[in-house]
Amino acid sequence: MKKIAIVFMLVFVSIASFGINNSKVNNINKSDTIKNNKMKNQIIELAIRSHKTTVSTEEFETMKDIAVKSLVAIKNVGPEREFDPILNIPEYPSKEYIGMTRYKSMRTVYKGMFNIKFIRNLMKLLKMSDVVSGTFQKPEDPNFDYINFANKENIVEIAVLRPNDIKKKDFLLKRAEYLKQLGKEDEVKNTHAFKTKWGFKNADVIVHFTVYNNKQSYEQFMKRSKNLDYIKKFNSVTAQLIISYCTVIK
């Protein structure tokens, strides 16, 4: 029984980073997703991973498409979104796949663990993946618009962090102040903070997003951010698991 439970845990943190080539899948459960962009109890799965060096990109992407199709076919799950890193801090040796999948609630996450078809499709995929982080996030803002928070014109900074020599509650206060100031910058469209509810790997992380207006805004801000005191202060209490600057695939 213990082995089965571990398999179930592995399964659900393995899929959000895997985009689907067939865009029609995004229309599944439309009444539960597209029409309700803002869900009070929504949970966002965030997965960051690469494929093992022994697996080809073609094999990996074929298998991931099958797995994600199984996931978003589950009632109250989806759509999934996919992001392409243009810069990772720290740098990783292989291509990182970053994706998100929305669940109506944590109850939906737990119910999905018993979807046999989905689990079957994921077993091979799990063996192909190297996971950086796999977590389930609850937006601090109950009106977080999962569908529209970022579009293809934007650059999205996905920060997966830990406190550095500071208590978690103090770190969260400093992050709130940091995001407040960051949100006032002309180049920034918006910022979004999350609370980690559960996860498979590196579940102790603290996550937030920063959305830049466009690539030019992102590049301008990167140049001048090095001289901003509030960023230096926040960075001094931050341990970075990964910060990815991404374009939006879908």
pLDDT(70) > 70: yes
Report d(CA 224, CA 199) in Å as an integer. Answer: 35
pLDDT mean over 202-213: 96
CA proximity to 140, closest of 209, 37, 231, 203: 209
pLDDT mean over 53-70: 93
pLDDT(110) > 80: yes
Position 113 scores a pLDDT of: 83
Report d(CA 97, CA 249) in Å as an integer. Answer: 11
In degrees and rounded to multiples of 5, residue 9 shows phi and psi of -65, -40
Percent of the chain residues past pLDDT 70, beyond the cut: 85
pLDDT(169) > 50: yes
Position 36 scores a pLDDT of: 52
Q: Which domains does the chain have, with CATH numbers?
A: 2-139 (3.30.70.100), 155-248 (3.30.70.100)
Split at pLDDT 50, 70, 90, the class of 37 is low
Per the prediction, the chain carries an average pLDDT of 87
Give pTM, 2 decimals.
0.85
pLDDT mean over 102-120: 90
